[in-house]
Amino acid sequence: MEHIMKPPVPLLLAATTLLFAITGCGHQPAYIGSARDIARTSSTESMIAVGQLPLEDWPKLQKFAALEHMRTAPGTAPAVTDDHIMALSNLKVPKLRQISLSYCREVTDVGFGALRRLTSIEGLQLIGTSITDDGLKVLVTELPNLKGINVEKCRAITVTGLSAIRESKSIRSVGLSLDPLSQASTGLRQSNVAGHRPALLPNLPC
């Protein structure tokens, strides 16, 4: 994995296409869509994909105290709300390193902000979400171990949010889309980004 130390704005904006470092492909996440799934899954499971799990059952995810990777299962994202993320943020999962909430468009800055409680987080996949500059600033300033974040297709993110990323002392890799940001708004010319390789962001195991 390539690490980019304290990237300047031009390098941040060069990462229009994100390359993922795929690890742990021999182990598929356990699907959790019901309380029954939770009951029959080993408490030592470190990777889960949460499906249509009723909100009242999210606190039961505490069973997985060794959890390291969590993502929403395909087709689940539209049903995830701030309440679900609040329930997730209340779990005591000190090993949790990566969370993917891509396309969870019903989650607002309130929900994203709650993730600050999970201080072990190193990577966040927030592709296509409704996060704004305010929510992004909370995450990049209050998650001390955050090394990578993907905000591709997050249309509420502006140069203000990207500036917050730039000021982070821990973030080394970023995924983003220039659209709808223009070169004029970023203050960049094409020559500023030419020749830079995309940053690498640790991904949830495939």
Q: Does domain 9-202 have CATH number 3.80.10.10?
A: yes
- Per-residue pLDDT of 92-146, as tens digits, reads 999 999 999 999 999 999 999 999 999 999 999 999 999 999 999 999 999 999 9
- Contact assessment for residue 153 and residue 128, using Cβ atoms and an 8 Å cutoff: yes
> What's the confidence (pLDDT) of residue 27?
76
- Contact assessment for residue 104 and residue 77, using Cβ atoms and an 8 Å cutoff: yes
- Per-residue pLDDT of 27-65, as tens digits, reads 799 999 999 999 999 999 999 999 999 999 999 999 999
Compute the distance between CA of residue 121 and CA of residue 204 in angstroms, rounded to an integer: 12
In DSSP notation, 110-147 reads: HHHHHGGG-TT--EEE-TT----HHHHHHHHHH-TT--
For residue 200, what are its two tokens?
A: 């690498």
